[in-house]
Amino acid sequence: MSRFWSERVAGLEPYKPGEQPQVVGMVKLNTNENPYGPSPQVRAALKGHLTDELRLYPDPESARLRDALAQRFSLNRQQVFVGNGSDEVLAHVFHGLFQHKLPVLFPDITYSFYTTYARLYDVSYRMIPLDDAFALNIEDYRQPNGGILIANPNAPTGRFLDLAALTTLLQFNTDSVVVVDEAYIDFGGQSAATLLADYPNLLVVQTFSKSWSLAGMRVGFALGQEPLIEALNRIKNSFNSYPLDRLAQLAAEAALQDEAWFSTTTQAIIASREQLAQGLDALGFSVLPSAANFVMASHRRPASELSAALRERHIFVRHFAGGRIDNWLRITVGLPEENHRLLQALREILVP
C-alpha cells in the first residue's frame, strides 16, 4: 500500500500464478506446462530470425498466423483473434464482451483469473457451484446473465463437458455471449469450434501454452463469428497494437506446421495421464476423471501435508489452499520418468 496508489489499484486482487522454482533437478508438475517441448521446427524457424530485422515492429495483424489458424479450423482470418497468451485474450473478453448489467456466470471452481479480470474491469459475476463430484450441470446456467464463461475441460478439476451439453446450453442461451476456454481441449475433449457457424454468440478461446508447448512464447487465440472478433480487435487496438512479437508469431506458425509432433506428444501425455491416475489410485487417492494434461487427486492424508513433503523432495505440485478444493492436489502430467519419481516419492511418504 502506498499513498501514490489510486483506490482502484489498492482494491485489486491480482492473480497468483503457480510458482516457477529454480531448483536443479526438480520435478515440476505445478503449472501444467508440456514436458515435451515444442516441435524442433519451432527452434529452426526462430534461429533464422534472430537478426537485425528485430528492430522492426511485428505485423500488428498477425496475418500469417491468423490465416494458418483459420485454415486449421475451416474459418477465415476475420474469425480469428490472437493475443499475448490466452490470458490477454480473456482479459479483452471481459473488457469488450462481458461489461453488461447482468452478471457473467462461471463455476465456483474454475480458472481463478476469471474473478481477477471481473474485478479489474468492473464486471459483475455469479459463481455457480459445481456438484459434489465437481461436475457442471448446464441447467444451473438457465438464468438471465451478461455472459457465460466455461473452461472446458475445466481447470483445476480436469472434468469435461461434452458437445451435446454445450449445444443445449447454446440453444437456451442465445442472448448473451458464451465463451468456452479450451486451454486443455487437445488432451481428449471435443472442441466447440465445430459449432461456430451455428451460434453467433459463441467464442472459443485456445492457447499455444499447453498442447503446443509454447507457454514461454505467450500466444493465445479466439475463434468466433466476425462481430465478436471485431469487438476484441477494437479493444486490442485501443490497448496495444502489437501484442504478439515477431518471434511469437513465427513460433506459433511453425508449431502449427508440425502436426506429427503435436499428435505424438499429446497422445503420449494422454497415455501417461491414464498411468499416473492408476498409480495414484493404487496409493489410495481419489482421482477425478481428467481430459486435460493434469489430474486432481485427493487422499485421506491432508493435501497440504503431502504437497509440503513432496516439495522437500524437490517435486512441485499445485495445492489451492482454502475452500472446497483444499484437500486436493492438481498434478501436471510430466515425462514418464517424472511421473514415476512422483509416485515413488508418494509411496515413501504414505507407506514409510
Ligand X SMILES: *Cc1c(COP(=O)(O)O)cnc(C)c1O
- Considering the rule CB under 6 A, would residue 82 count as an interface residue with ligand X? no
Q: Out of 58, 85, 146, 158, name the contact with ligand X by CB under 6 A.
A: 85
By CB under 6 A, which span of 34-42, 81-89, 266-274, 315-323 interacts with ligand X? 81-89
C-alpha cell read off for 74:
475451416
| Phi and psi angles of residue 222, each rounded to the nearest 5 degrees, phi first | -130, 145
Q: Which 138-177 residues touch ligand X, going by CB under 6 A?
A: 151, 155
**Residue in 39, 62, 86, 339 binding ligand X, rule: CB under 6 A:** 86
Radius of gyration of the chain (CA): 20
Select the residue interacting with ligand X from 70, 165, 215, 268 (CB under 6 A): 215
Residue from 118, 183, 202, 235 touching ligand X (CB under 6 A): that is 183
Stretch that binds ligand X, among 49-57, 65-73, 85-93, 342-350 (CB under 6 A): 85-93
| Cis peptide leading into residue 40 (ω within 30°) | no
- The C-alpha atoms of residue 157 and residue 287 are separated, in whole angstroms, by 10
- List CB contacts of 283: < 8 A, sequence separation 6 or more: 299, 343, 346, 347, 350
Window 296 to 325, contacts with ligand X (CB under 6 A):
none
Pick 86 or 290: Cβ nearer ligand X? 86
Q: How far is the CB of 62 from ligand X (least distance, A)?
A: 15
The residue number with the shortest CB distance to ligand X is: 85
Handedness of CA 206, 212, 213, 219 (dihedral sign): negative
87 near ligand X (CB under 6 A): yes
Q: Which of 33, 181, 186, 253 binds ligand X (CB under 6 A)?
A: 181
Q: Is there a contact between 289 and 295 (Cβ–Cβ < 8 Å)?
A: no
Q: Considering the complex, what minimum distance in angstroms separates the CB of residue 53 from ligand X? A: 26
Handedness of CA 90, 94, 98, 103 (dihedral sign): positive
| The residue to which cell 479450451 is assigned | 182
* Least spacing, CB of residue 275 vs ligand X, in Å: 22
Closest approach of ligand X to the CB of residue 182, in Å = 8
Tell which residue, 219, 209, 249, has the closest CA to residue 60: 249
Least separation in angstroms between CB 142 and ligand X: 23
Site string for ligand X, 109-128 (x = CB under 6 A): --x-----------------
Count of positions on this chain that bind ligand X (CB under 6 A): 13
Residue whose CB is less far from ligand X, 161 or 346: 161
Q: Is 252 among the residues that bind ligand X (CB under 6 A)?
A: no
User: Which span (39-47, 82-90, 254-262, 303-311) binds ligand X, by CB under 6 A?
Assistant: 82-90
33 binds ligand X (CB under 6 A): no
Q: Which of 240, 278 has the CB closer to ligand X?
A: 240
Residues that bind ligand X (CB under 6 A): 32, 85-87, 111, 151, 155, 181, 183, 207, 209, 215, 220
